[in-house]
Amino acid sequence: MTTEIKPLRIFSGTKALMMLFVLLPFFAFAEGGEKKFVAGDMIVEHVSDSHSWHIAGNVSVSLPILVYSPVSGFSAFSSSRLENGAVYNGYKLEGEHLAAVNPDGSVNKADTARLWDISLTKDAATILLAGIALILIFTAASKGYNKRKNDAPKGIQSMMEPLILFIRDDVAIPSIGKEKYEKYMPYLLTLFFFILFLNFIGLIPFFPGGANVTGNIGITMSLACFTFIITLISSTKSYWAHTVWMPGVPALVKILILTPIELLGVVLRPFTLLIRIFANILAGHIVALSFFSLIFIFGSLWGKVTGYSVSVFSVAFAAGMLLLDVLVALIQAYVFTLLSAIYFGMVITREDTHH
């Protein structure tokens, strides 16, 4: 009996991937240079908003600064003028914060507090990008429906249709009810896809992605505010009657326990919305970045060789984390939309829910 000798395959898929994991950190080290590496700073810098958009190496785009000051009026200029702590037009950057400065170069705290800074930062630019993408994609899909009336969907249309149907049949109708869901559909769809797009753009590791937008509390706060405002507008008298003065409960219990809890709940619900998505997305970014940081931590502790060897595991773990983040991106967009729909459903209490 002769054993068959299989030809040696050098470039199998797995091996190619392993090679990539081994080679990637070389570039990272080359880029990192000899600067002292502090993991916390690096991570915070990556997940924070910024006035310039880093592309690769030393290349970055300077984004415009737009600011209104009650003292000197509206001004707009490129953030490149404020690089390395330079003062321009009476402004300078304190970290990533715009500050008004006195003629002698010191920060004027009173004026800084009154600034209306609407600079087009990295996150703001990503939001605009997502907005444009949303408009382009869904008008294209809408055209598909016009072109193929009563026919099977095609292309971008068939990609978005399951999601639209999912929001309609599994989110809006069960939460709001068949009679009134239609009014809320445009909001729920915009909300879901906006969050989804921002989440996904945030996961793309290179320009023009990577901005931690939905992991920024300002963003989630404005989204939660929309839901809160719509909830307040659509709330009915019967809902407030049940919230403030629940029938069939002793007055003392109402005043001491039930009413405070219910009123707190009204405010807490949108608050949990904004915290949940913020924390999830931010954590995803931080964990993925932490795995990469390990390379440099080990590298600076025990030399480059250790860094290279650790890199294989770091990149593998970070890749796994990214896959998990794709899931989180979907789930968080879904949860935000679902909870918004449920809150709408709660406040438009139908007549038959009396007890």
Closest contact distance (angstroms) between CB of 21 and other proteins is 30
Contact stretch for other proteins (CB under 8 A) within 77-85, 159-167, 297-305, 327-335: 159-167
Output 57 or 95, the one with its CB closest to other proteins: 95
CB 294 within 8 A of CB 314: yes
Interface pick for other proteins out of 70, 186, 247, 248 (rule CB under 8 A): 186
Cis amide linkage into residue 208, ω under 30° from 0? yes
Output 221 or 330, the one with its CB closest to other proteins: 221
Question: Could you give the CA distance from residue 90 to residue 83 in angstroms, rounded to a whole number?
Answer: 14
Closest contact distance (angstroms) between CB of 300 and other proteins is 25
Burial status of residue 48 (CB atoms within 10 A of its CB: 0-12, 13-18, 19 or more): middle
Question: Could you give the CA distance from residue 110 to residue 101 in angstroms, rounded to a whole number?
Answer: 10
Question: Could you give the CA distance from residue 78 to residue 120 in angstroms, rounded to a whole number?
Answer: 10
Is 187 near other proteins (CB under 8 A)? Answer: yes
Contact stretch for other proteins (CB under 8 A) within 53-61, 148-156, 245-253, 312-320: 148-156
| Secondary structure class of 24 (helix, strand, coil) | helix
Give the DSSP H or E segment for 69. strand 64-69
Residue closest to 48 by CA, chosen among 212, 174, 275 = 212
Closest contact distance (angstroms) between CB of 174 and other proteins is 17
**Radius of gyration, CA atoms only, the chain:** 26
CB 167 within 8 A of CB 176: no
By CB under 8 A, the residues from 229 to 288 that bind other proteins are 282
Output 48 or 80, the one with its CB closest to other proteins: 48
**How many residues in the shown chain lie near other proteins by CB under 8 A?**
50
Beta bridge partners of 92: 99
Output 47 or 297, the one with its CB closest to other proteins: 47
Closest contact distance (angstroms) between CB of 94 and other proteins is 11
CA 155 to chain centre: 27
CA 23 to chain centre: 30
By CB under 8 A, the residues from 9 to 68 that bind other proteins are 44, 47-49
Contact stretch for other proteins (CB under 8 A) within 164-172, 200-208, 246-254, 259-267: 164-172
Which residues of the chain form contacts with other proteins (CB under 8 A)? 44, 47-49, 95-96, 116-121, 123-124, 127-128, 130-131, 134-135, 138-139, 141-142, 145-146, 149-151, 161, 164-165, 168, 182, 185-187, 189-190, 194, 216-219, 221-223, 225-226, 282
